Structure 1
Amino acid sequence: METFWFIAITFMFTIYVILDGFDLGAGMVHFWVGKTETERRIVLNAIGPFWDGNEVWLIAAGGTLYFAFPRLYAASFSGFYLPFIIVLWLLIFRALGIELRHHLHHPVWRIIWDRSFWLGSWLLVIFLGAALGNLIRGVSLNDQGYFFTPLWTNLRPTPNPGVLDWFTLLFSAVAVSTLMVHGANFLALKTGGLIQERARRIARNGWYALTASSVIAVGATHIIRPTFWDNFSRYPWGWAIVVVSLLAWAAMGWFSRRQQDGRAFLASSAFIAGMAAVTAFAKYPVLLYDMEYAERQLTIFNTASGAYSLKVGMGWWIPGMILVGIYFVYLFHSFRGKITAPPEDAGY
């Protein structure tokens, strides 16, 4: 049962990154693809029907984590208290930028909220990437399995590190380049004209930044966490996940250069899913590493709820996911097609 919930939570966080990732990416390139007021409104209308629903996946994944692995939830939310609060305020700040800009037709008002949308998107992606880096690097757990991590110390991944160091910031760079390409692919798919041309250019050039940062991150992981790849030696079939991820990476560049926007977006989605699967496979069954003592690490077995609770929860989770999946298919089908210039009173 513990393995099922490990896969389920990985799935939910992956769906969150894929779905909210494209509107976060759109926010990061907001000023680069939208040079005029009309163009920026087109960008916001492209993500308008989706962005708030996409964020629900983060809440649902966090709630599921609390249910399935309460000890991990308690340790991580206390240890990462400051970055969690920062992420919460960034989510609020970014949402205000989307929803308030159209309430007053004044250029100063709109530029303030456009910049909050842009800045909130950038900082959120930086912190999400750093979160992945912390999961791979590990933290300094005490003998009760708890910890506290400051925002930064000396920016080095030594014992008692901060949330931000050169290693976790490297994963922030991977997240920034990946979601920038993902968001640009989405905008190229949903828009036309100059916005589409600029988005395509960002997707093409961003692919090279994604490649470079990913290669450096893999090398750094081998240095900081050399045991990270051990599961691939124990279970060689796991290399199939790596191969699929590499194929998705190659497809991103191939389809972007050929201006096949829909396929490029699917390829970037597959790349994100592949990287999440590779990380989960490599970490299993560990949820949170200790930087010094392997016996202190938190795993799916020493943090899980009781077997009966996990079994009952599975009976609710599966039909719930089916219903949510049907809703999102309906949502994306209903708002398919390209976005044109909206009238002034249409919102956003």
Structure 2
Amino acid sequence: MVRATIGPVWTGNEVWLIGGSALLFLAFPKAYAAGFSGFYLALMILLWLLIGRGLAFELRGHVEHQLWRAGWDAIFSVSGLLLALLLGLLVGNVSRGVPLNAEGYFFLPLWTDSRPGVHPGMLDWFTLLSGLTMVLLLGLHGATYLAMKTIGPLREKSRSVVGTVSALAAVSLSALYVAWPFVQPAVRENYVTNPAGCVWPATSVAALVLVLLFHVRHRQVAAFVSSCLLIASFLITLAWGTYPNLLMAIDPANSVTIAGAAAERGALQVALWWALPGLTLVMCYQWLIRRLFAGPVASASHHSHGA
């Protein structure tokens, strides 16, 4: 039943990963070069996790054997969990700052002394907190989605997850917001200089409260929409804090800014004429698929052929 809920949108959602990477390369080639070279190990791990999820999803139904299916289910679950954690680690590193040199490149070891500082590693207490927060937010998002798209025991199980994870997410998200300005002083300066941005962390906290409120009232669609708002406002909060930097450096003089990393004006103007209709087509496709497969999945019999 879980597979049936995500089968229609599985491939379409991958388009955003490809499109995001392509647009970053197209519009900000210097940021793309610096980020992809410095995060090379992390991005290779991310690629393998995406491959693991895709193989597990597609191959699970090819052999009618309990051990075969259990094995691929385990690969799918572990890959999904580690992927959420890795995305959170990347978010933590970008928002904390990386050791960029004057040429715009950096090397980031897996860990050093587990503390943010002049010579950080990819893993420290702040990035691990960011990774945990992302796991909880995406876990909550998945649970609200399943509670909206399923019926029976699976819906009740998903609802129980929402109640538990939302409390943990509230603690983790609050801790991250409190710690972030101390780890990266530029963030505090951004919010002091432009206090209107404080609406975004406030919105994310309010959205988390709404998720729990709608969950208690059994309004599953509203809870899922609130979860979407939670993730969107969380990402906007991070973007507001790091603006105008695309890649923050430990030494602020070496940070990669939007203006410094942008492609030449002519190339951006040409790209805009291609990007707008392309994104419009993708969004129309996504809307159509969700319209066609709206409503909850009635039974597990769907899943063997759904994806």
> Would you say same fold, with TM above 0.5?
yes
Structure 1 residue 160: Cα displacement: 2.4
Structure 2 match to 1:334: 292
Q: 2:220 is matched with which residue?
A: 261
> Percent of aligned positions with the same letter in both sequences?
39
| Distance in 2 (alpha carbons) for counterparts of 1:235 and 1:247 | 21
Cα deviation code 1:224-277 (max 9, x no counterpart): 112213222222322333333332122111111212110000000001111111
Deviates more, 1:124-133 or 1:320-329: 320-329
Q: Which residue of 1 aligns with 2:279?
A: 321
1:130 paired with 2:89, answer yes
Q: Is the 8 A contact 1:82 1:150 kept in 2?
A: no
Contact 1:191 1:338 in 2 (8 A): yes
Report the residue type matching 1:330 in the other structure: L
Give the alignment partner of residue 240 of structure 1, picking from 199, 207, 221.
Answer: 199
Give me the whole-angstrom Cα distance separating, in 2, the residues matched to 1:268 and 1:229. Answer: 26
Q: CA deviation at 1:153?
A: 2.5
**1:277 maps to what in 2?**
236
Give, in whole Å, the separation in 1 of the partners of 2:303 and 2:137.
33
Runs of 4+ more than 4 Å apart: none
The residue type paired with residue 172 of structure 1 is G
* Contact 1:126 1:172 (8 Å CA) reproduced: yes
The amino acid of 1:338's aligned partner reads P
1:14 is matched with which residue? none
Counterpart of 1:317 in structure 2: which amino acid? Answer: A
Q: Which amino acid aligns with 2:284?
A: I
- 1:136-189 CA deviation, whole Å, 9 max, x = no partner? 111111110100112222322222222121110100110011011100000001
Separation in structure 1 between the aligned mates of residue 213 and residue 254 of structure 2, nearest angstrom: 44
Residue 309 of structure 1 pairs with residue 267 of structure 2: yes
Change (3 A) 1:179 1:74: same
Conserved? CA contact 1:153–1:161, under 8 Å: yes
Structure 2 residue 96 is the aligned partner of structure 1 residue 148: no
Q: TM-score with structure 2 length normalisation?
A: 0.96
Q: Is 1:221 matched up with 2:157?
A: no
Contiguous gaps of at least 5 residues in structure 2: none
CA distance 1:245–1:116, shift in 2 (3 Å)? same
CA distance in 2, matches of 1:242, 1:161: 26
Q: C-alpha separation between the residues in 2 aligned to 1:160 and 1:236?
A: 31
Q: Name the count of aligned residue pairs.
A: 306
Partners of 2:304 and 2:23 lie apart in 1 by: 39
Query: How far apart in 2 are the matches of 1:49 and 1:82?
Result: 31
For the aligned residue pairs, the C-alpha RMSD in angstroms reads 1.4
Shift in alpha-carbon separation, 1:140–1:112, aligned structure 2, 3 A: same
TM normalised by structure 1 equals: 0.85
Which of 14, 18, 33 pairs up with 1:59?
Answer: 18
Selected match of 1:98 from 37, 41, 57? 57
- The answer for unaligned runs of 5 or more in structure 1 is 1-41
1:187 partnered with 2:126: no
After superposition, the Cα gap between the structure-2 partners of 1:313 and 1:344, relative to the gap in structure 1 and judged at 3 Å, is closer
Offset of residue 345 of structure 1: 5.0
Contact 2:95 2:248 in 1 (8 A): yes
Query: How far apart are 1:347 and its partner, in Å?
Result: 5.1
Q: 1:344 to 1:199 in 2, by over 3 A?
A: closer
Q: Aligned equivalents of 2:45 and 2:255: distance in 1?
A: 26
Counterpart contact for 1:182–1:269, Cα < 8 Å: yes
Q: Deviations over 1:49-74 (max 9, x none)?
A: 11221111011000000011101111
- Matched AA of 2:101: N
